[in-house]
Each structure stands twice: as structure tokens, then as C-alpha cells.
Amino acid sequence: MTDSWATFGADLHLDRVAGRGLRAGLTEALREAARSGRLAAGTRLPSSRSLAADLGIARNTVAEAYAELVAEGWLTARQGSGTRVAERARPRRADAAAPVRRPARRGPAYSLVPGTPDLAAFPRAAWLSAARRALTAAPNDAFGYAVEARGRIELREALAGYLTRARGVYADPARIVLCAGFLHGLTLLAGVLRARRVREVAVEGYGLHFHRDLLAREGLRTRPLGLDGEGARTGELTAGSGAVLLTPAHQFPTGVALAPARRAAVVDWARTTGGLILEDDYDGEFRYDRQAVGALQGLDPERVVYLGTASKSLAPGLRIGWMVVPPGMVEEVLAVKGATDWTSSALEQLTLAAFIESGAYDRHVRGMRLRYRRRRDELVAAVGERAGVPVGVSGIAAGLHAVLELPVGAERAVVQAAAWHDLAVHGMGMFRHPGVVGRGRDALVVGYGGPSDSAWGATLAALVAALP
């Protein structure tokens, strides 16, 4: 049976042994704390004077307890270093079974899974500089509970300027709603669609399954649109769909851009049926063979919701995304989001605003554009030089992924061969909507953005070795 000593200056709790004298009880409590690991090796203990004052006992009592434990080897005492817990192995209990040693589990050594930028290239120094400026200039309310559901006005103003200039978006700060990323934004929009009694959303025949799963959880069924070299077949849209989700600048995963005629057709569909276009501009800033195509939203800001994030341009760990919504829809989005901004930190928002306004964001995107273009060129060259069955690279020169076309029936075997070479890579089949009719394409969706520079050569060699 124990009771407790007061928590002393080192913020460590000692259990006092009942029925023992003060010195013996303190000695045993300290010994047990060191034995069990609650007092870690190297922990500096309070001086005998301080601990005696905290516990309300005589200083000599503490000094004697310390001396006994030093003699036993549980503590060390050196001039100028104070009294510390000794570095020693924790004794094994006689009745404890030896732990079973299991091999450490790990993932593949190399990865070309799409969707991740080069995290090693995150601009730490420039971000830290922006964070310092943001913190210095931050108004006091930035440290309080967020009250603006749209997000910080500083970031919305910075984004409005950038999106208008770089992506051709009609972006007024009042129409920008910040969110924690694309999935969060899509969740909010699904809530708006459900409130509007929409039952069906058209999606591209190949895309991310968790986007479709999210819509399904929100009670919205999805209907796939066909895909070809000109992007989604927008002519297949009907009045039965209340919205359509598209990646027009660079379709994921097929890698094509939505053709001009089809861009016009989807806007006409929205105007005729009252439908809503959800534009996922996930990597629209990264085009390598020509100037990036402007956002679809510029054709009709009243019918298109533009969604973007910092996930591909900077890092997904920032958890910052944004939506530019039609004026009449802002209040509907805010009603779903709630009265308080529960998304990213106000300080992170202010830092990104400072990062954009200083020009650091543009410089970073330009630098990454060169890096990813070089990666893509090296991928194409390596695949082209290899012997064996010809493997073509399809899709526009853009983004953080490329598509390797495989012989009919070869996709599964190549993915398995890649696993044997300790490489994670996805086949096109995993992105196919269950409702797509007919035989699917055999291809690899190669995400060349993720590997660090030091791992890139070995990763590329593993890919080439896995190809037929």
C-alpha cells in the first residue's frame, strides 16, 4: 500500500512506501522510480535543499537518501553536475519470459506510387523565413479561437492574387473558403449537394477510389464518364447528374488534358441543366512542354467550384487547401463547414500567405517544375533504352506522374515483378471505376515526384528491371 509524495521540481511523481520512515521511504521510492524507468537514466534530480523544501522534510533526510543510492549505484553525484540517475541496465525480473525477437517489418525500399511530391525538397529555409515574418506581424486574434469559417483573410487575399495571375481563376477573397485539403473540400461540397437534393455525381472513368468512396458515404452515387486522348467524354453528361468532378488540366491517372471543345461542352451542360462542375486542379502548375492551360473555372465562375491545395506544390503535411466557389454558394458551404474554422492552424495560414506574397512560392514552383521535368525526361529515356517489349509513355508532359503503356495482359505481372525488386508501383486497373464497361487498359501509373534525389537512380533501375 502506498501513498504519494508531492510532485517535485523535476515533475516526477514518487510513491511513498507506507509504514517506512521518512528516509527509508524516500530511498525506496527513488530506487523504485529508477529501477522501473520512471526516472530515466541521466535525469537530473533536484538539489537536496530543493527536494527537502518541496517534500517538507529535513534536508539531511534527502541528503542521506541520495548518498545511499549513490553508494548502491542507482545515482551519480559529481561536482558541478548535480545528482543524476545512473546509466545502468534495468534488472530483468526472474519470472519474466524472454521477449520474442521478431524481424522488423518495413515497406518496399523504393516507391513510384503517384500522388506525393519530393518531400526532401520542401523549402525549409524559405518557409522558416516566412514563418518568422508571419509570426512577427500576426495580429493578436491569430492566437485565439478562429471565428472566420472562410479562413484567415491574409491567406485568402494572397491566394486570390496568385490564382488570378497563375491559373486564370476569377478569385475574390470573399469567395475563397480554406479547408484542410481536397478531401475535406469535397466533403463540404458533398454536404452542399446533398442539401440541394442531388443524388448523382458524374466522375471520370478512371480516378482515385477514395474520392468515389467519400461521395458514396455522403449518399451520392457516382456515374463514370468515358475517357480517351481528349480527356473525359463530357458529351455523355446528362441531366441526371447534379454535378461532375473533373481533373481538366491533367487527368488523373491517364495524364491527358481536357480538350477545348470538351471544356466548352461541360460548361454548356452546367448552364443548361443547372449542374455544378467541381474542378480538381491538383497539379495544374506543373506543365513542361508548354504554358500551363488556365483553369476551367475561368470559363464560367458561376458554375465551377475550383479546388486546389498545397499538397503537390509544397507538401501534404501542411493540410491547407482552398475552394473558390460561386458567389451564391458561399453561404451554403459555410453552413456545412460550421461557424468556426477547424481546419489548419492560423499561423500556418499566415505563413503560407507570407510565403506567397514574398515570391518564394513562385520561385519554389519554378524550381520544382525543372526538377520534375528532368525526372520525367530521365524516366522516358530509361524506358526507351531498355531491351524487350516496347513500353510507351503516354499522357502530356505535366504533373508528378506518367503512364507506361504495357502489352495486353501484362499489368499484373509487372506490378508483381516490381514487388520482387522491392519497388511499389500502381497499375492502371486500381483506378478504374467499377461501372466502366469493357476491357481496361494495361499500364503503370508511375509517380516520379516522391523519390529523393539520392534514391532516384536506384528507383528508376528497379522499375526498368521489372518491365517485360
The string of pLDDT tens digits covering residues 45-63 is: 888 888 887 777 888 888 8
Listing DSSP states for 37-101 in one string gives TSS-TTPBPPPHHHHHHHHTS-HHHHHHHHHHHHHHTSEEEETTTEEEE---PPPPPTTPPPPPP
In this prediction, residue 418 carries a pLDDT of 94
Mean pLDDT of 321-326: 97
Residue of 396, 39, 439, 446 lying closest to 251 (CA atoms): 396
For the segment 2-43, what is each residue's pLDDT rounded down to a tens digit? 455 544 444 545 655 555 677 888 888 888 888 887 788 888
Q: Which domains does the chain have, with CATH numbers?
A: 2-85 (1.10.10.10), 110-114+363-466 (3.90.1150.10), 124-358 (3.40.640.10)
Is residue 99 scored above 70 in pLDDT? no
d(CA 42, CA 46): 13
- Using CA atoms, how far apart are residues 195 and 113, in angstroms rounded to an integer? 36
- Enter the pTM of the model: 0.80
Mean pLDDT of the chain: 89
pLDDT at 131 over 90: yes
**What pLDDT sits at residue 266?**
97
Categorize the per-residue pLDDT at 342 as very low, low, confident or very high, splitting at 50, 70 and 90.
low
Give the per-residue pLDDT at 457: 94
Residues 156/169, Cβ–Cβ less than 8 Å: no
Dist. CA 259–CA 276, nearest whole Å: 19
Find the distance separating the first CA and the last CA of the chain, reported in whole Å.
71
Mean pLDDT in residue range 331-353: 86
Q: Please answer whether residues 243 and 201 qualify as being in contact, where contact means their C-beta atoms are separated by less than 8 angstroms.
A: yes
pLDDT digits (tens, 9 = 90+) for 247-295: 999 999 999 999 999 999 999 999 999 999 999 999 999 999 888 889 9
Predicted confidence (pLDDT) at residue 93 exceeds the cutoff of 50: no
E strands present in 257-416: 276-280, 304-309, 321-324, 392-394, 401-405
Report whether 65 contacts 55 (CB < 8 A): no
Residues constituting the chain = 468
- Contact by Cβ (8 Å): 438, 449: no
State how far Cα 187 lies from the chain centre. Answer: 16
The better pLDDT of the pair 12, 357 is held by 357
Q: Assess contact for 152 and 178: CB atoms under 8 A.
A: yes
